[in-house]
Amino acid sequence: MPKPALLVTRRLPPAIEARAARDYEAHLNSEDAPWFRDGAAIAARAREVQAAGILCAAGDPMGEATIAALPPSVRIIATFSVGTDHIALQAARARGIVVTNTPEVLSFATAELALTLMLMAARRAGEGERLVRAGAWEGWAPTQLLGVTLEGKRLGILGFGRIGRTLAGMARGLGMEIHYRDLRPAPAEVAQGAIYHDSDASFLGAIDVLSMHMPGGEATRRWLNAERLALLRPGAIVVNTGRGSSVDDAALVAALRSGHVRAAGLDVYDGEPRIFPGYFELENVVLLPHLGSATVETRDAMGRRALDNLDALLLRGQTPPDALT
């Protein structure tokens, strides 16, 4: 029996590409050729190879036009990500195409990066690193690059899901008090003493550090706007490892310039890889290139999870464990 044809849009970890090549007629993109940025090119390649499955990644343009152009042979789209903002789920559902993601396996790595950004922003690590690299450091000084400690500060977690709860556990080790905002309070055994807020005003006014872990979509677009930024305590720190679209960039830049927000740490951006140019003019913002899940262990686990979903449908005729449509 011939192996199902699988179109892989991006370069993936070696073990994942090897497994795909073993079990499928795999059409890989091991050079990360940029055709993955064009939905029409993805659809054309899927038609060319009569793909039964597509293994795509975050940011690949799998919108309505791409879904409509896919050949009838496509039965499943497995995304190498938790987020599915790049996929037109309803359009896929209408065509009977199963969409899966890779939940759970990247919670620790993303929380770890949120903590990294919190520490870098609080301790002005980006500024210090740039000072040293520029050859401008003249030695230790009592008042040089004074930051703030996280010990005893109040951490506000926006979105108390797997990543937010994992971050809470890490932050407790720093002696931080945990507050959270979500649709409903978590059970006591899950919250572990974290303080629930049922309004934005109560939440934002109580915290020293805001870490954003909310889902994307129109409902959360530019959630952190000028009005909500004004509710933060003066000198607050903002960290975003969730969705770039949930931040009003112009409003955050204005708050950083005025000092109302002491510092920010960002790993995701609205319209990435484009970045709002105002950030480049500021020293008090740490900018990372979407590294939330970028560990060897996590990316391998994501690849295995994506292939497990593909295997379930294409090799065993079963419902994939992470089916979203």
Instruction: Indicate whether 79 and 129 sit together in one domain.
Output: no
Residue 112 placed within a domain: yes
End-to-end alpha carbon distance in the chain:
28
* Residue-level pLDDT at 97: 98
How many whole angstroms separate alpha carbon 224 and alpha carbon 241?
Answer: 13
Residue 321 placed within a domain: no
Instruction: Indicate whether 97 and 112 sit together in one domain.
Output: no
Residue 261 placed within a domain: yes
Instruction: Indicate whether 124 and 94 sit together in one domain.
Output: no
Instruction: Indicate whether 270 and 206 sit together in one domain.
Output: yes
Position 74: which residue type? Answer: V
How many whole angstroms separate alpha carbon 20 and alpha carbon 12?
Answer: 10
CATH of the domain at 146: 3.40.50.720
Q: How many domains is the chain partitioned into structurally?
A: 2
* Residue-level pLDDT at 218: 86
Residue 282 placed within a domain: yes
Instruction: Indicate whether 96 and 181 sit together in one domain.
Output: no
Instruction: Indicate whether 179 and 266 sit together in one domain.
Output: yes
Residue 320 placed within a domain: no
Q: Which amino acids are annotated catalytic?
A: 243, 272, 290
Residue 209 placed within a domain: yes
Token duo for residue 290: 């979407």
Instruction: Indicate whether 114 and 216 sit together in one domain.
Output: yes
Instruction: Indicate whether 153 and 192 sit together in one domain.
Output: yes
Token duo for residue 4: 């199902």
Which phi and psi angles does 130 have, rounded to 5°? -65, -35
Give the CA diameter of the chain: 73
Instruction: Indicate whether 203 and 311 sit together in one domain.
Output: no
Instruction: Indicate whether 221 and 204 sit together in one domain.
Output: yes
For residue 217, name the pLDDT band (cuts at 50, 70, 90). confident
* Residue-level pLDDT at 302: 98
**pTM confidence score:** 0.93
- Does position 68 have pLDDT exceeding 90, yes or no? yes
Strands (E), the chain: 5-8, 25-27, 53-57, 76-80, 98-100, 154-158, 177-181, 195-197, 209-212, 236-240, 261-266, 285-287
Instruction: Indicate whether 48 and 123 sit together in one domain.
Output: no
* Residue-level pLDDT at 216: 82
Domain range for 62 is 5-105+296-315
pLDDT tens digits, 252-310: 999 999 999 999 999 999 999 999 999 999 999 999 999 999 999 999 999 999 999 99
Residue 123 placed within a domain: yes
Instruction: Indicate whether 129 and 85 sit together in one domain.
Output: no
- Does position 66 have pLDDT exceeding 90, yes or no? yes
Q: What is the DSSP letter of 171?
A: H
Residue 322 placed within a domain: no
* Residue-level pLDDT at 48: 98
- Does position 1 have pLDDT exceeding 90, yes or no? no
For residue 39, name the pLDDT band (cuts at 50, 70, 90). very high
How many whole angstroms separate alpha carbon 197 and alpha carbon 206?
Answer: 9
Rounded alpha-carbon distances, angstroms, from residue 32 to 8, 13, 67: 10, 12, 21
User: Can you tell me which residue has the tokens 């959270």?
Assistant: 180
